[in-house]
């Protein structure tokens, strides 16, 4: 079962403790504030990032520096989600698979991946921030393409991630 409320509460507490009240969320600073060592390297396209937990040393989050900055931010947030939500030690590597359309998608096979993706969305695009930004506009639809693009830029996420997020908090009409 996906722990939607725990995920949201965990992300919101982190933002509150760090005094973050507006986008873009400084995800690297947040991660370092959790005692995590952050590293990056150019890697194969299908590797997005990893989380390494070794007993006795600080956790390490790594991301592929070949990917776009918005993607890097999402994967760092995703790995932080694994760290805070999933008590597994050792190395966890995240990969992207090519779909039949040739598009890259994040791995969504098991519940841990769904939870980590949801955590990343909660921390990078807090519902409260989005509602404040869209106050008075009402739910968006396809005609608001420019608004969605502007929001994606403001939150430093991909337009695809912003569209998914707005849909899940019912700020977009499908
Ligand atoms: Zn993952």
The verdict on 170 and 99 lying in the same domain is no
Choosing from 124, 144, 166, the residue where a domain stops is 124
Ligand 1 center to 50 CA (angstroms): 8
Residue 109: its pLDDT value, please?
63
Q: Which domain holds residue 106?
A: 4-124
User: What is the distance between the alpha carbons of residues 86 and 105, in angstroms, rounded to a whole number?
Assistant: 22
Claim to verify: residue 153 and residue 73 sit in the same structural domain: no
Token readout for 53 is 């937990």
CA of 110 to the centre of ligand 1 (A): 9
Same domain membership, residue 90 and residue 18: yes
Tell how far the Cα of 76 is from the centroid of ligand 1, in angstroms: 10
Burial state string for 66-98 with b = 16 or more CB within 10 A and e = fewer than 16: ebeebbbbbbbbbbbbbbbbbeeeeebebebee
Query: What domain count does the chain have?
Result: 2
Q: Mean pLDDT per segment of 10 residues, for the chain of length 174 residues?
A: 96 96 96 96 91 95 95 96 93 74 52 94 97 86 87 96 93 83
- Ligand 1 centroid–CA 109 distance in Å is 10
Strand order in the sheet with 60-64: 37-41, 60-64, 47-53, 90-98, 104-106
Same domain, 67 and 14: yes
| CA 113 to centroid of ligand 1, rounded, Å | 5
- Give the distance (Å) from ligand 1 centre to CA of residue 146: 30
| pLDDT the model gives residue 97 | 62
How far is residue 141 from each of residues 62, 90, 138, measured CA to CA in Å?
Answer: 36, 43, 10
pLDDT at 82: 96
Give 74 Cα–ligand 1 centroid separation in angstroms. 11
Distance in Å, CA 25 to ligand 1 centroid? 20
Q: Nearest to residue 84, comparing CAs of 18, 13, 155, 161?
A: 13
- Distance of CA 136 from the midpoint of ligand 1 (Å): 36
Read off the pTM: 0.90
């Amino acid at each position: 079962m996906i722990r939607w409320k725990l995920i949201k509460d965990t992300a919101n507490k982190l933002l509150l403790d760090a005094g973050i009240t507006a986008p873009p969320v400084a995800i690297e600073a947040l991660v370092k504030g959790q005692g995590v060592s952050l590293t990056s390297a150019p890697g194969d396209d299908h590797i997005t990032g990893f989380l390494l937990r070794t007993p006795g040393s600080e956790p390490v989050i790594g991301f592929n520096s070949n990917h776009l900055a918005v993607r890097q931010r999402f994967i760092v947030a995703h790995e932080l989600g694994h760290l805070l939500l999933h008590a597994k030690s050792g190395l966890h590597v995240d990969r992207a698979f090519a779909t039949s359309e040739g598009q890259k998608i994040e791995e969504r096979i098991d519940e841990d991946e769904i939870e980590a993706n949801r955590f990343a969305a909660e921390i990078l695009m807090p519902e409260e921030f989005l509602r404040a930004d869209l106050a008075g506009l009402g739910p968006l639809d396809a005609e608001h393409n420019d608004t969605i693009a502007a929001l994606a830029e403001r939150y430093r996420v991909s337009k695809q991630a912003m569209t998914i997020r707005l849909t899940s908090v019912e700020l977009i009409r499908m």
